[in-house]
């Protein structure tokens, strides 16, 4: 029997340097894709996968994320007085219930591994999900829900992967893949962070969604600084792989890396074109611009 995945960690303490100056005062997770901040898409994906409690690992200048998931009392009172029920309903729909979110500060951006470790007390001794909030996924069911199916079948640790062209593998964390099971998932026997051109063990890159067993925290605690002088999650996962099973699941859907300008713009276009009203308005401009 596998323990249910009830909690998720969303690390949001990064500096977002690729998006400066936009992210000088506004966290990158609060940049909007069409009509909602990036982070809202990821929280919705987690909740749709059955996550009951979300731990945000934040940093300085990130308090607006906390405000976004709280009641905006004055705004909501004003909307109420003015009879703006639709707007009020929207706010309610996207707000997690009181007591289902926690916020802890990373204090210093020492790396993704360190950010996840900061959530150890709030997660406790149970398996949990990690979702990188700048990776926005578009699929039904969501990426984490697809992973939960694999976790329920095989247990252990589960990583979501996607194909990239072989000549792009040097930009990503890439997995070593075992033989595929009947359900399409497969064992992962290794991973390499940004392999040199021509040396990648596969063209399957880790796309920012993980289900991990709590033993990862002890390993993160002992973890030395790795690539870039940061405490890397990949290094701790490689150590955990010596003791526990890891499984890969190929994500069926579209991923937008909203931490990069191109990915962010593509997400906006893709989500806007999916909205009937917006699509009608922007399509002629897109066609004109593309000549
Ligand atoms: P990124 O590598 O995208 O780093 O982190 P970043 O600082 O956010 O952005 P750039 O590269 O400077 O533009 C991947 C995820 O890990 C989180 C980030 O918030 C992001 O969600 N992270 C990274 C932390 O929470 N803490 C860290 O120390 C590093």
Mean pLDDT lowest among 23-27, 159-163, 208-212: 23-27
- Encode pLDDT of 122-136 as tens digits: 999 999 999 999 999
106 lines ligand 1 (CB under 6 A): yes
pLDDT per residue as tens digits for the range 170-198: 999 999 999 999 999 999 999 999 999 99
- Is residue 268, in this structure, part of any structural domain at all? yes
Write out the E strands in 34-150: 36-37, 53-58, 101-105, 128-131, 135-138
> How much is the pLDDT for 231?
85
Instruction: Check pocket membership of 42 for ligand 1, CB cut-off 6 A.
Output: no
114: in domain: yes
What CATH number does the domain containing 241 carry? 3.90.550.10
202 is a domain residue: yes
- CA nearest neighbour of 9 among 207, 212, 174: 212
Instruction: Give 230-243 pLDDT, tens digit per residue.
Output: 888 999 999 999 99
Residue 106 has pLDDT above 80, yes or no: yes
The reply to whether 2 falls in a domain is: no
Q: Is residue 1 part of a domain?
A: no
- Residue from 62, 108, 112 whose mutation best tests the ligand 1 pocket (most atoms within 8 A of CB): 112
Helix axes 143-154, 38-48, angle to 10 degrees: 30
Q: 278: CA distance to ligand 1 center in Å?
A: 31
Please work out whether the CB of residue 259 comes within 6 Å of at least one atom of ligand 1.
Answer: yes
Give the distance between the most distant pair of CA atoms in the chain. Answer: 63
**Total tally of structural domains belonging to the chain:** 1
* pLDDT for residue 1 is more than 80: no
Q: Give the tens place of pLDDT for each residue, 43-75.
A: 999 999 999 999 999 998 888 999 999 999 999
pLDDT for position 230: 82
Q: Output the residue whose Cα is nearest ligand 1's atom 9.
A: 16
Classify burial at 134, counting beta carbons within 10 Å of its beta carbon; exposed 0-12, middle 13-18, buried 19 or more.
buried
Asked whether residue 265 is assigned to any structural domain, the reply reads: yes
> Between the CA of residue 177 and those of 95, 200, 247, what are the distances in Å?
38, 11, 9
Ligand 1 centroid to Cα of residue 37, in Å, is: 17
Residue 280 lies in a domain: yes
Residue ranges making up the domain that contains 245: 7-290
Q: Does the beta carbon of 29 lie inside 6 Å of ligand 1?
A: no
pLDDT of 226 > 90? The answer is no
């Amino acid at each position: 029997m596998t323990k249910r995945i009830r909690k998720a960690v969303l690390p949001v303490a990064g500096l977002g340097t690729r998006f400066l100056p936009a992210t000088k005062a506004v966290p990158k997770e609060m940049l909007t894709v069409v009509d909602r901040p990036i982070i809202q898409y990821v929280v919705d994906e987690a909740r749709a996968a059955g996550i009951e409690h979300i731990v945000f690992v934040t940093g300085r200048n990130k308090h607006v994320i906390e405000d976004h998931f709280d009641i905006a009392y004055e705004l909501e009172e004003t909307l109420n007085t003015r009879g703006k029920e639709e707007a009020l309903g929207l706010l309610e729909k996207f707000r997690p219930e009181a007591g289902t979110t926690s916020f802890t500060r990373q204090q210093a951006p020492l790396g993704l591994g360190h950010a996840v470790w900061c959530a150890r007390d709030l997660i406790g001794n149970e398996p949990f999900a990690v979702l990188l909030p700048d990776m926005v996924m578009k699929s039904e069911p969501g990426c984490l829900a697809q992973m939960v199916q694999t976790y329920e079948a095989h247990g252990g640790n589960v990583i979501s992967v996607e194909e990239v062209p072989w000549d792009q593998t040097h930009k990503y964390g890439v997995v070593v893949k075992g033989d595929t099971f009947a359900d399409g998932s497969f064992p992962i026997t290794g991973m390499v962070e940004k392999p040199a051109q021509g040396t990648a063990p596969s063209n399957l890159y880790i796309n920012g969604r993980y289900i991990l067993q709590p033993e990862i925290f002890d390993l993160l605690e002992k973890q030395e600084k790795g690539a870039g002088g940061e405490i890397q999650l990949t290094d701790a996962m490689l150590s955990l792989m010596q003791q526990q099973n890891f499984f890969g699941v190929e994500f069926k859907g579209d991923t937008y890396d909203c931490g990069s300008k191109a990915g962010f713009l593509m997400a906006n276009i893709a989500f806007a074109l999916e909205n009937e009203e917006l699509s009608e308005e922007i399509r002629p401009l897109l066609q004109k611009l593309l000549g």
